[in-house]
Structure 1
């Protein structure tokens, strides 16, 4: 009997510096999965939303991309580990992002990566069940009232190691406060992230962080001009 190989649809796989949240400044390997139905209007990775079979390409084409595109490859866990070795990546922290990575079961991938000596982090909207290893660091960036109509899950909020919330207006702050109260979140670190680095959003985030003893996440990679 042939054992089914676990594969993942991947838009990008690259090494950089984590620019957000608790791991800001950490050398990291990003694995960006394809597919997301949440529909955030200000999303900066809209090219990962659709899974179009006609846009599936070979892994070398996906790895060789020099600009954002909706081309994606399907890689097995073994191929992912082999790619990391072949590319000569040195980082030992891996970020699973998207798209919405929690649309699929990430536990086999996390466990294989951890067994190979990596630490894992997943970045999710909190609208899908989080299926990861016990040691995986979970960053929930709750997406409230988005076009896709998905609700934030209590299980996702409870599993979060950190909550990273994009803000541009007072309404975004009010939505977060209501969400924290609804799910009885009191001790999980909260980061506010100004949307698009706009001055007014940044000023609001700073003021709100001081008022609530929250933390600021400024997307350092965008200020540095790196991916």
Structure 2
């Protein structure tokens, strides 16, 4: 497996915010979000090739039950099913952070952290090749795959948001996903890679959550460590 980074920290986002966790970031992605804050694992994938045995040994060297597998897009990583299967056998709690574009096909997962990509994620002309712009736009949403995740796993739906107009698009996306989706399963997360930008969006997110019954999702790791790899 090509791994961009592996580190021990606390979960900074979602329902498990604050929980000590081992983070495994795979390298490689099938999308090219224009605001991606880990381009070293997506736009320009970096990392080392590691065997599943080596990866499991490293994960188990830390005193944590929770393992968060992120990316890039971890569901396209070679060996991902074997890796999660091994972790499951060891009694680890597995969170997979995914855009929900690749079907789970029975993968071992305790919490599917789904982050469907809104239209604002599509890169603009000049940012990247036209081929990648078209590829991103055609792949960023797959409602059948998202529905399979929601119907088969414990889940949370995270949306990166920067302006009020995006709430209508979020509601349209959620309406297309099959399954029982309670409002509190929908997490709104501020776009930004520095504490000042993130805090500037708090009032917007608070109001949107109050109006719709959604959950506000902070980015605790940015507050604590900044946008720094390995945190």
TM-score w.r.t. the length of structure 1 is 0.80
Please give the alpha-carbon distance, in whole angstroms, between the structure 2 residues aligned to 1:32 and 1:102.
11
2:209 is the counterpart of 1:201: no
Please give the alpha-carbon distance, in whole angstroms, between the structure 1 residues aligned to 2:32 and 2:85.
29
Deviation for aligned residue 1:109: 1.4
Please show how residues 78-227 of structure 1 align to structure 2 within 5 Å: 78-85=53-60, 88-104=61-77, 106-131=80-105, 133-145=107-119, 146-147=122-123, 148-149=136-137, 150-158=139-147, 159-160=149-150, 161-184=155-178, 186-188=180-182, 189-196=185-192, 197-225=197-225, 227=231
Aligned length: 200
2:22 to 11, 20, 29: 29
Q: Give structure 2 stretches of 5+ with no counterpart.
A: 124-135
Please give the alpha-carbon distance, in whole angstroms, between the structure 1 residues aligned to 2:55 and 2:140.
31
Please give the alpha-carbon distance, in whole angstroms, between the structure 2 residues aligned to 1:156 and 1:133.
13
Contact 2:25 2:69 in 1 (8 A): yes
Q: Give structure 1 stretches of 5+ with no counterpart.
A: 1-7, 52-69
Please give the alpha-carbon distance, in whole angstroms, between the structure 1 residues aligned to 2:37 and 2:51.
26
Contact 1:126 1:142 in 2 (8 A): yes
CA-based RMSD of the aligned residues comes to: 2.0
> Which segment drifts farther, 104-113 or 126-135?
126-135
> Which segment drifts farther, 181-190 or 136-145?
181-190
Please give the alpha-carbon distance, in whole angstroms, between the structure 2 residues aligned to 1:36 and 1:151.
11
Please give the alpha-carbon distance, in whole angstroms, between the structure 1 residues aligned to 2:201 and 2:106.
32
Displaced runs of 4+ in structure 1, greater than 6 A?
Answer: none
- Flag the 1:137–1:155 CA change in 2: closer, same or farther, 3 A: farther
